[in-house]
Chain A
Amino acid sequence: MSVKETVQHRNDRKEKVVEIRVKRQMYRWPALTAAIALLSLTSPHDALSQRTRIDKETLEVQELVDLLAEFPDDAQVHFQLGILLAQQDRRDEALSHFEQAIRLEPQSLIYGNEYRMTSIWFKECDRAIEFFEELVDRNESPQVSRLQLALAYVDKMPSVMLGIVSQGLLSNKSINRLTQVIEQDSSNWAAWYARAMNHLHWPRAMRHGTQSIHDFQQALKIQSAMNLPKPRPYFVLTYIGLGDALVKEKRHDEARDVWRRGLELFSKNAHLRKRLTLADNVQLEKFVEKARWLEKQIDTDLSILWAD
């Protein structure tokens, strides 16, 4: 595949990811979505429902703008408007409304997460970093803001305009912020997991392997201590990541044990199954090396935390 094709493929993939995400987001707020739909149907523009999707979206945007005129400090309306504007590629307006939603409710993981995901799509990672740095400086909901800032640093790493030094600098900034979060709250699964992932993506020669293993093990302890009747979907990530970290340290058998334990809980997980099919250690190392590298986009989408 040529470079041009690779870039195109990457963009297409991102597009699909965003589409899926936006649909999921709409599902997450059924009440608001229904209200918007109701407004549309009962408005003087009822007939417009037969129009194109864009026209309908425009109408919805207008309705939300009207709502904002009445309730300017309603974070949820800002947020929903951000989503719709993003769908229409109205980048600056969308991001501004996301930012306003976060300012109004800085403790919301959901708002911050969607803002970062949209920033990635619009290649505005620097803007997201600047925004969260400002929130952290202002000490607004510092734990959540630090976590989002740490993830925003990671979001920027795969940029084609960054080399390994810049990527390493961003990763170190992320690690530092996550360490602050963990120091304040050692039961924060997301922080342990994110820090483990940071360490995991460094080249082996940079000797981050043991730190990655340690952090994944902490995340595993936290999720095990929850004693839930049914494991949450995101629990599987820890098993996958811990195994990969062990492979990078050439602890292949331990890695396979971890993946098998994961498979006991998530018997259909394709990532675990794939890894366990690789019987040859060299092949396994190559697989992990390819998957875990600073230039690889690390999935920082926290929505899996509240997914069913």
Chain B
Amino acid sequence: MMCQKESVFSGTIERDCAAYLIVASMTRDNVSTFTSLIIMLLLSATARSEPESRVPPPKSFVDITAQAGISHIHHKPVLDAKVKNIMPWLSSVGAAAAAADYDGDGWIDLYVTQSDVGLPNYLYRNNGDFTFTDVAEKAGVARINEASGVSMDAVFADYDNDGDQDLYVVKWGCNRLFRNNGDGSFTDVTKQSGTGDCGNANAAIFLDVDNDGDLDIYVGNYFDYVDLWHLKSTRFMHDSFERARNGGRNVLYRNNGDGTFINVAAEFGVDDTGWTLDVGAADIDNDGDMDLLSANDFGPDKLFRNNGADGFADVSENTIGTDTRKGMNAEFGDYNNDGWIDIYVTNIMTEEYLKEGNCLHQNLGDGSFVDVAVETGCADGGWGWCAKFFDFDNDADLDLYSVNGFVSAGDETYWFDLATWATDIAGDPAEATRWPEMGEKSLSGHEANRFFRNDGADGFGETAAELGVDDRRDGRGVVVADFDNDGDVDLFVANQGAAPVLYRNDVGNKNNWLQLELKGRSSSRDAIGARLEVFTGDLMQVREVDPGNGFGSQSSRRVQFGLGKAAVVDSVRVRWPSGTRQILSGISANQLLRVEEP
């Protein structure tokens, strides 16, 4: 039988529906697994969550970068020599990574950027044994760091709904869109698609802003439209350290459905001119469409509520407030399992002199938010970059990994020079050549990354050292993905001017889990923005299919739920971007469930 929209609430029908869906998803799974799933499904409908240990084993994450065959070192961009006085500052971003199963073999692959002219990007094909092979040259996505611009971020998505993962790379310079040919290679379709904005972008996400079934692209631009390698003027920096609005104008490419896009950012009210380092999207008001967050450096972050046909409304002031911090990261997740998606923005904090701190905007469900970062213990992330929510130990709540470090160089600090100059009455930050010489000095460098383990009502506990992820390189992008398909999520960290780190999660399957991979029909094929509610006993967990949130990175779009001791999920409710609702019941734990939109 087929699952019906909004119509399956009785136990029997729900079981049938779930069984159908499992069958539908079994193209790669063997029959014995299927049989056991059905038996478990029938036997365990009444299973409930049980309290689980909150003490994970030490060093749950193991650095296996070298064994995995990932040996490249990220190189920073080298810009126009006219601004060499602050070159270390300017060249402090670009290490990024994106994850997707680009070749459809069931294993999550990795695309990793370089940021210096002439150096290739990497497409690490997952060999299925936790080793990777770089196939970027063959695939046609290696040689894109050129004199006119270098890579800053990348994101996969199936923009043409043909069943494979395409790739969008944003650059300081002109962005590039690559269509996946379905045979392991890509074709550059930037020109014909109209997506080659030549701003200086640091972020992009794919989302369906108008829920019309195809994916649009939101691009966050940092500098205004200047050629950073051939500067005509050196007056291109932010004009304030706290309220700058002279950054690049963000772009929203609406997908016309025929392989072309058009920039509608102004029309939709999201052409933010803040110094955007990251953009993110989630349905914060649970009304079925994705809202946007622009994390802005040197000034207020912007939260835009999606009003459907009326475009977006800037609701920042009455939601997350107007801040003077340095927004670096836009991440969403329901950290307290109350059914409302919360927001985590990293900022910069150094205990001795800079007490800004990260923001955890808890969604109160009435349109308002309150920053609870200090109260929950996740405010001090250092000089923060990417931070991602995920359940590393499958204990049914979202933990946070937050990487940091700005410029790690010599023993001397640039902070004194910078702050003395910046607080001087005659300071003029927009003029780059007036900044004090940075030389070999560090600025909030050599910081240890933070892992905020969710301890429920007790907030977060910082456990990076305990878990073995307190690396001190300058972290930028973080990819969360189950690279070995063992049911717990692994981590890849792109470091600036340094080697990346691939961590295998060795926490072990002490807790149960469920992964879901959605395939849209009326909705976009990737189902980005679909809301999943997983019920086990009294607990409801909510996740959304990720558009690529988080600075300099895109995690796997497989949706991971930790289930604790629950062997069976009572029900999974899916709200597809098209509005279709679907309920699956009695789902056995410890499987990857592929669900197709009815």
Chain A positions within 8 Å of B, measured between CB atoms, are: 1-4, 161-166, 168-169, 171-173, 176, 203-207, 293, 295
Contacts and interface: CB of A to CB of B under 8 A. Distances in A.
A204 B352 contact: yes
A206 B423 CA distance: 11
B322 interface: yes
Given A163-B242, A173-B425, A293 B355 contact: yes
B354 interface: yes
27 contacts: A2-B370, A3-B371, A4-B370, A161-B324, A162-B242, A162-B324, A163-B241, A163-B242, A163-B356, A164-B354, A164-B356, A165-B422, A165-B423, A166-B242, A166-B324, A168-B419, A169-B425, A171-B423, A172-B423, A172-B424, A204-B352, A205-B413, A205-B415, A206-B353, A206-B416, A206-B420, A293-B355
Given A172-B423, A205-B415, 8 more contacts: A3-B370, A4-B370, A163-B325, A164-B353, A168-B422, A169-B423, A204-B353, A206-B353
A306 to B, nearest CB: 32
A293 B242 CA distance: 18
A207 B420 CA distance: 10
B242 A165 contact: yes
Contacts of A295: 355
Interface of chain B, helix or strand or loop or mixed? Answer: loop
B105 interface: no
A205 B424 contact: no
A79 to B, nearest CB: 32
A167 to B, nearest CB: 8
Interface in B383-440: 413, 415-416, 419-420, 422-425, 427
B13 interface: no
A295 B372 CA distance: 19
B81 to A, nearest CB: 27
A204 B351 CA distance: 11
B375 A1 contact: yes
Contact of A165 (B241, B322, B371, B375): B241
Contacts of B427: 169
A4 B366 CA distance: 15
A3 to B, nearest CB: 5
Contacts of B370: 2-4
Contact of B353 (A2, A3, A205): A205
A169 B420 CA distance: 9
Contacts of B242: 162-163, 165-166
Contacts of A204: 352-353
B394 to A, nearest CB: 30
Interface of B: 241-242, 322, 324-325, 352-356, 370-372, 375, 413, 415-416, 419-420, 422-425, 427
Contacts of B413: 205
A203 B419 CA distance: 10
B352 A207 contact: no
B224 to A, nearest CB: 21
Contacts of A169: 423-425, 427
Nearest to A164: B354
A81 B421 CA distance: 44
Contacts of B415: 205
Nearest to A206: B419
B593 to A, nearest CB: 38
B322 A205 contact: no
A274 B370 CA distance: 33
Contacts of B352: 203-205
Contacts of A1: 375
The 6 A-B pairs of least Cβ separation, nearest first, read: A168-B423, A163-B324, A203-B353, A165-B241, A205-B353, A163-B242
Nearest to A294: B355
B39 to A, nearest CB: 48
B428 to A, nearest CB: 12
Contacts of B325: 163
B410 to A, nearest CB: 16
Nearest to B420: A206
A168 B425 CA distance: 9
A176 B425 contact: yes
A2 B354 CA distance: 21
A207 B352 CA distance: 12
A86 to B, nearest CB: 27
A245 to B, nearest CB: 17
A93 B425 CA distance: 33
A207 B355 contact: no
Nearest to A293: B355
A269 B355 CA distance: 30
Contacts of B356: 163-164
Contacts of B416: 205-207
A177 to B, nearest CB: 11
A166 B233 CA distance: 26
A37 to B, nearest CB: 46
Contacts of A164: 353-356, 419
- Max chain B C-beta neighbours (<10 A), residue from A2, A173, A293: A2
A295 B242 CA distance: 15
A205 B412 CA distance: 12
A26 to B, nearest CB: 38
Contact of B425 (A4, A161, A172): A172
Contacts of A2: 370, 372, 375
Contacts of B322: 161
Nearest to A168: B423
Contacts of A165: 241-242, 419, 422-423
Contacts of A168: 419, 422-423
A173 B372 CA distance: 34
A205 B419 CA distance: 10
B335 to A, nearest CB: 15
Contacts of B424: 169, 172
Nearest to B424: A172
A254 to B, nearest CB: 22
A32 to B, nearest CB: 41
Contacts of B324: 161-163, 166
- Max chain A C-beta neighbours (<10 A), residue from B241, B419, B423: B423
Contacts of B419: 164-165, 168, 205-206
